[in-house]
Structure 1
Amino acid sequence: MDAVIYTRISLDRTGEGLGVARQQQECRVLAERLGLTVTKVYSDNDISATNGKVRPEFEAMLKAKPTAVIAWHQDRLLRLTRDLERVIALNVPVYTVTAGTLDLTTPAGRAVARTVAAWSQYEGEQKATRQVAANVQRAASGVHQGRIGYGYRRAGAGLVLHDDEAATIREAVQRALDGESLRSVCKDFNTRGVPTPGHGSLWNTTTLKQLLVRASLAGLTVHRGQVVGRAPADAPRVIDEDTHERLKAVLTDPARRTAPPGRQPKYLLSGIARCGRPTGALDDAGEPLLCDGVMVRGVGRTTRQANGRTKKQPSSYVCSECYRVRRKQSNVDDLVEGIVVGRLQMPDAARLLSQGDPAALQAARDTLGLIDARLADAADIFAAGSIDAAQLVRITEGLRADRAQAAAAVDAALPAAVPAELIGANARQVWDGLSMDSKRAVLDTLVSVVILPTGSGGTFDPDTVRVIWRS
């Protein structure tokens, strides 16, 4: 009689498939002893039978409808009762190396198989429960076992921060919260040679995103999407829990736009500014309908003058729909930047942008200013010799902890794409240091830009560019 062999192992740490190879060898010995002819071997390596994942070879075996099945043990073939019923439907005998024969063609055989499967499923569920409880207990006690994540290193039974890796994560977190694309961050990290979690591989957006949304960075233990444990208050954390939640919201936002590979934005308002040319039609309210086409950056045109000479026109923003509105790129960029940065420098800018309680936001900003002044005073006192280095360290450590808390309150109250440092007197300096990704994210968050048509020739008219603040 013909038969097939099915082998499976849940975890293959080496990737060499040694476990399934040993199962197959013993199954072939059993087949020879029983006088069975092995026609095919189905093998699912490194796949659990209890986590709900599809086992491709198991499914293929069921579809093939073999006349007999050989496995090393019943729990290699199945551990869930629902899978057993699918095997029973084949109405064939199952031979095992270590547990004898399961005659699924008889009621008694099926009863035995169902009993064994029920206990296997029970043991699997109990094991999962014990593992979760153990993970929670370890998280609460600060004891860590297993693989060390990027940003940490082992110290005895616990973990401490890996300073360089933690700094890399925090930089990436802040840049993502500031609106910069993960692709841009990865390109910069690869250019700078920043070490990756893969030890020698290059940064990519998938790796970086998986790293940044890890709950363990904030001292959390998560099981099936739910927080089941928190590390002690004094345990090391790369970021705090609030920052983790804000970052997760930003990176998992369905509206987050990702540019196709190789097409990173190069120009400030390309794809953001819109065409304001009237079409001649009216909307339902009797208002003129505008073209509203996306303005894109057009390469400067070459024109021929009356004297026969050619003149290269500067690069411009041009409507991608009607092609009838064109404006010099540098003039528009300078105007929009000046308006936005100038507004962010005003004393009430934070209140204008607040997403929560404006008074609480202003109080946090006032606290930041006070702490910065005290830090400066401490440095002056140390320079004058009135305090020693140890005293300066104690003073600054306390102040910096307070400053971090106040800065987090400011960040949480502002739109995700707007860095807290961009609000205030230093707005221009901060703006000039932002990447193009971050600048575009700030503009797209705060304003809409409409470019109106104008007559040919003449000087640039700022009134033909409307900067409208979003509510």
Structure 2
Amino acid sequence: MAAIAFQRRVWENKIALLLAGAEVEALSYGRASKDKKKEKYSVAQQLRMNRENITQASWIVAGEFSDNDKPASRHASEKSRQRADFDRLLLAIKSGRGDVLVMTDMSRSQRMLGVFAMLRDLCYDNGLFFWMVEGNVYDLRVSADRASLGQQALNAESQVDSISDNTSRGLQGQIADGRPQGKVPYGYERFKNRKTGAFESQLFDMTQHVAIHADGTEEIYTTYQIVREIFWKLRRLITAKAIANDLNSRGIPSPGGKRWSRQTVESIASNAAYIGKRVHFGDIVSEGQWEGIVEPKVFYNTLALTYAFTDSRRTGRGFARKWLLSYASRCGECGAWMKSSHRGAKAKAAGRKPVKYTCSGHNCSGAEIDAFDSYVEACLVSWLSRKDIYEQLVSLTARQNVNIDVYETAIAEAQAELRALPGLVTAGKISVSLAGDIEAGLNSKISGAQDAIRAVAIPEVLMDLVGPDAAEQWENIADLELRRDIIKLVAAPTIRAANKNPRMPIAERVSFGGMMGGLAA
């Protein structure tokens, strides 16, 4: 359908326009971005003020256009700056509608000089020469009027630039000081000065809530306890989905007051605010002015475990696995997960096992279940039994940039003080009794730091497995899913194709990643 064309009248000057009265048709435009403090005019207020100005001049309204919650500065995203009614206004101007454009102030049309220039040129080229801004009439054919409008447009852009600069400086100050910003993390409550609104403190939320279980029983909980529970369970390889389902079954609402989801649990597990860190766009930028709910060693350990299992757990089809390495090992040819696959009737008739492992991607490789399982378990247990495994894990942890140098520095300082004690006693500066007390305290400090390093370097689920009795401890694990998770974390096995050689030893086809791949053999 072709656009309707209007014949726009031409007025000699501003006086002629004002004297024409009802012959003049006005286009009214209003825009507002988000203004939570209600310090500026709303769109409805702007249109009302425009109508008052139009009525006072005895003109008639030819069209009203408005965009609500729409920013117009270059600091907003291009998508958020899209304005449907502003585009309709441009089409109306092109079609010849209206004799004057009415706005409460210049910033309503734009806060970018480029947009102002576009709108000005569009009006001029299409014969809409008159603008009314803040109750004053301007003629685009008059250089002084164009200059005045241009200055107003510059002021509108400069104002929002100044606001952006001040906001940025304020944010940088918040980051440097470690003050929190945005929503209060689940498990905390934030306190502000009643008069100024300035941040004062962020403390653990120990408010008691009552949850009603499906069977009608009640549970008293705090959000602080729920956060600690989430980290505790994740470190024991309980999936984020299982945790979410459990919280939902207990009637405990999520941070948003709705049902828990896997994503909500994982977002808590990856938020460094829970170790007292100030985070900006996902990166730790400073120490926060609040205490962490969990210790750094717990947080980093949980984070590593969560990332280790996220991919494989989402790939599964949602039922319990029967086979140890199904979706716990990968094809060495294409990288797809290995899965269990049923053999045909001929293989069964030949006495072979009805199930084998095959590549889930392109069927690149396959393996007998018993041979693959046995070899991987033997290598895993042998690796966990190594005498140097603790030192190797600490080395790997340091290479992965987990902060353990604080504990190592504490150990070095305490050991240096221990070495200095005999000299202090000989010099008569301290007594033998005092030296004994100091030695006991330093040994306790060293032991505590060593325990902290061990907790960071060795995931909690492996604590009992690492050592000479690893084989016995492995046999004591009856939970198949737990075994599979440990294999994915520690061994991450891959198996290559046999290259048409069915007798190729399994050891020549299997390689390891995970912790075993990250450490020297």
TM-score by length of structure 2 reads 0.57
Displacement, 1:150? 1.5
Offset of residue 42 of structure 1: 3.3
- Structure 1's 240 and 300: CA in aligned 2 closer, same or farther, altered over 3 A? same
Whether 1:424 and 2:466 are equivalent positions in the alignment is: yes
Deviations 1:38-73 (A, max 9, x none): 435231326464532234553662473442544333
- Paired position in structure 2 for 1:87: 119
Question: 1:150 aligns to what?
Answer: 186
Determine the structure 1 residue equivalent to 2:387.
347
Q: Residues 352 and 56 from structure 1, CA distance in 2 versus in 1: closer, same or farther, beyond 3 angstroms?
A: same
SS at match of 1:355: helix
Give the equivalent residue in structure 1 for 2:203.
Answer: 160
The residue aligned with 1:448 is 494
Mapped partners of 1:209, 1:77: distance in 2: 43
Q: Aligned residues, how many?
A: 406
> In structure 2, the residue corresponding to 1:11 is in which secondary structure?
coil
Q: Does 1:195 align with 2:253?
A: yes
1:113 aligns with 149
TM-score between the two structures when normalised by the length of structure 1: 0.62
Could you tell me which of 75, 83, 103 is aligned with 1:58? 83
Shift of 1:87: 2.8
- What is the CA RMSD across the aligned residues, in angstroms? 5.5
After superposition, the C-alpha distances for 1:141-188 in whole angstroms (9 at most, x for unaligned) are: 787787533221135742212364345445556777898875565455
Q: Which residue of 2 aligns with 1:231?
A: 288
Distance 1:343 1:200 in 2: 45
Q: Give CA-to-partner distance per residue, 1:348-401, whole Å, 9 cap, x none.
A: 22334432669x89x96x98xxxxxxxxxxxxxxxxxxxxxxxxxxx9xxx899
What is the aligned partner in structure 2 of residue 124 from structure 1? 160
Q: Which runs of 5+ in 1 are unaligned?
A: 277-289, 368-394
Partner Cα separation in structure 2 for residue 273 and residue 78 of structure 1:
57
- For 1:214 and 1:102, the matched residues in 2 are separated by 54
Corresponding position: 1:9 with 2:50: no
Instruction: Name the amino acid aligned to 2:379.
Output: I
In structure 2, what residue type is equivalent to 1:270? Answer: S
Report percent identity of matched pairs: 16
Alpha carbons of structure 1 residues 148 and 333: separation in structure 2 relative to 1, 3 Å:
same
CA offsets 1:411-446 (integer angstroms, 9 cap, x no match): 6657xx99663762486479777758844641564x
Deviation at 1:197, TM superposition (A): 1.0
1:23 matched to which residue of 2? 46
> In 2 relative to 1, CA 20–292 (structure 1 residues): closer, same or farther, beyond 3 Å?
closer
Question: What is residue 470 of structure 1 aligned with on the other side?
Answer: 517
Relative to 1, partners in 2 of residues 1:258 and 1:312: Cα closer, same or farther, differing over 3 Å? Answer: closer
In the TM superposition, residue 120 of structure 1 has moved relative to its aligned partner by 3.3
Superposition pairs of residues 295-444 of structure 1, within 5 angstroms: 295-299=338-342, 315-320=355-360, 321-322=362-363, 325=366, 327-328=368-369, 332-333=372-373, 335-353=375-393, 354-355=395-396, 403=448, 409-410=453-454, 421=463, 424-425=466-467, 428=473, 438-439=485-486, 441-443=488-490
**SS of equivalent to 1:90:** helix
